[in-house]
Amino acid sequence: MAVIVPSRRVRRTPFSEGVEAAGVKAYTVYNHMLLPTVFRSVEEDYHHLKSAVQVWDVSVERQVELRGPDAGRLMQMLTPRDLRGMLPGACYYLPTVDETGGMLNDPVALKLSEDRYWVSIADSDLLLWVKGLAYAWHLDVIVDEPDVSPLAIQGPKADDLAAAVFGDGVRALKFFRYGYFDFEGTQMLVARSGYSKQGGFEVYVEGHERGMPLWNALMEAGRNMDVHAGCPNLIERVEGGLLSYGNDMNRDNTPHECGLGRFCSTQTAVGCVGRDALLRVAKEGPVKQVRAIEIEGDIPSCDRLWKITAGGKPIGQVTSAAYSPDFGVNVAIGMVRMTHWDAGTPIEVQTQDGRRDAVVHEAFWI
Ligand code: THG
């Protein structure tokens, strides 16, 4: 493939200099910004992520900030997850939906204070929807994109690396909680979260100029831990069933179809846009849903939708797939109709290189 040209529309990040020095080999574009996808090779990066520790430039997880007396009310309009119990210090994974209950994004939200939130978005322009709601409802709230760029520390040695830079206090952070920790005399927001199943942290770096000093400090402190620059890894995230907005789901899907029903309490999420639509589908249950799928044979890269058939009839689609070295099979994420979604059901996947036999797997691999 040809190269991607950065520009004002395809934004660089505060860590781009470090990413380039580390030998990034490929990028994708996510929220109008560069997201590294390969450093050594997808497989090498995968083995290293699962055995050591990596520093990821995930600046593309842009923040939508809601600030003002109506910030809490506006937050609840975005999601069927009940936010009444959310306290400062908490991160919540949030399905966000439109008036039909269709998925608009699947961000991680942080409550900074009673009247201030960050919504750490996946790849869709959620800012525009939030600004539109604030305007239409005459809400007393400011909605914008602050100069905040997450840097992730992921892998089995993530606690050791984070402790070396932020002190042993970070070890006590619980999953999906954040705290403030000192870095060279300034406080930084560090959360125990991240887009892998290997565990780790995300540092929300405020101010472009603070990017490279933190990047360099992590690389320096991690020398004896085999630290390397990394990025969200396709193989690992499919093994773990981490969904990718725009790939595995979009506005055509409800949270229940995405398997995100456990993050919805639609009944009590009063004020949520699309609540009526979701109450209906939650009652009936979805007729198709995300499933782990194991595909036989050699597969090409899944850069388009693969139809799933059973006896030649369409029953779903595969949206992400990769060969897993650790499990020795092709792992995949797909959306499957209820007639065929039981574990063990034999199906066929139509790749651009031809048909492959496949089976609905009981669960994701990690
Ligand atoms: N971190 C932050 N922002 C993000 C992502 C992130 N924005 C974009 C993208 N990732 C949003 N999507 C996800 C998908 C899954 C998870 C987080 C963000 C995730 N899921 C946990 C799991 O499936 O194991 C469950 C979380 C929970 O139990 O609450 O972590 O990664 N800042």
Q: Which ligand 1 atom sits closest to the C-alpha of 204?
A: 32
Residue 32, Cβ density class (10 Å: 0-12 exposed, 13-18 middle, ≥19 buried):
middle
Ligand 1, pocket-test mutation among 33, 108, 264, 290, most atoms within 8 A of CB: 108
- In this structure, the number of other CB atoms found within 10 A of the CB of residue 268 comes to 10
- The span from the CA of 340 to the CA of 81, in Å, is 29
> What pLDDT was estimated at residue 154?
99
Do 12 and 34 meet the contact criterion of CB atoms below 8 Å apart? Answer: yes
Q: Classify 5 as helix, strand or coil.
A: coil
> What pLDDT was estimated at residue 2?
85
For the segment 345-366, what is each residue's pLDDT rounded down to a tens digit? 999 999 999 999 999 999 999 9
Report CA(174)–ligand 1 centroid distance (Å). Answer: 15
Residue type, 199: G
> Above 80 in pLDDT, residue 106?
yes
Do 178 and 42 meet the contact criterion of CB atoms below 8 Å apart? Answer: no
- The span from the CA of 251 to the CA of 101, in Å, is 8
- The span from the CA of 239 to the CA of 363, in Å, is 9
DSSP 245: B
As for ligand 1, residues whose beta carbon falls within 6 Å of it are 61, 93, 106-108, 120-122, 150, 176, 193-195, 202, 242-243
Q: Look at the alpha carbons of 347, 350, 351, 354 in this order and tell me if their dihedral is positive or negative.
A: positive
Q: Whose C-alpha lies nearest to ligand 1, atom 15?
A: 242
**How does residue 156 score in pLDDT terms, banded at 50, 70 and 90?**
very high
Q: Average of pLDDT values for 70-78?
A: 99
The phi and psi torsions of 75 (rounded to 5 degrees) equal -55, -45
- The span from the CA of 161 to the CA of 165, in Å, is 7
- The span from the CA of 85 to the CA of 78, in Å, is 16
Q: What is the pTM of this model?
A: 0.98
For the segment 36-60, what is each residue's pLDDT rounded down to a tens digit? 999 999 999 999 999 999 999 999 9
Q: Whose C-alpha lies nearest to ligand 1, atom 29?
A: 93
For the chain, domains (ranges, CATH) are 16-61+147-238 (3.30.1360.120), 63-144 (3.30.70.1400), 288-366 (2.40.30.110)
DSSP 11: B
- The span from the CA of 109 to the CA of 272, in Å, is 15
- In this structure, the number of other CB atoms found within 10 A of the CB of residue 302 comes to 23
> What pLDDT was estimated at residue 1?
74
Q: Classify 298 as helix, strand or coil.
A: coil
For the segment 286-333, what is each residue's pLDDT rounded down to a tens digit? 999 999 999 999 999 999 999 999 999 999 999 999 999 999 999 999
- By DSSP bridging, strand 96-97 and strand 53-57 are unpaired
For the segment 252-298, what is each residue's pLDDT rounded down to a tens digit? 999 999 999 999 999 999 999 999 999 999 999 999 999 999 999 99
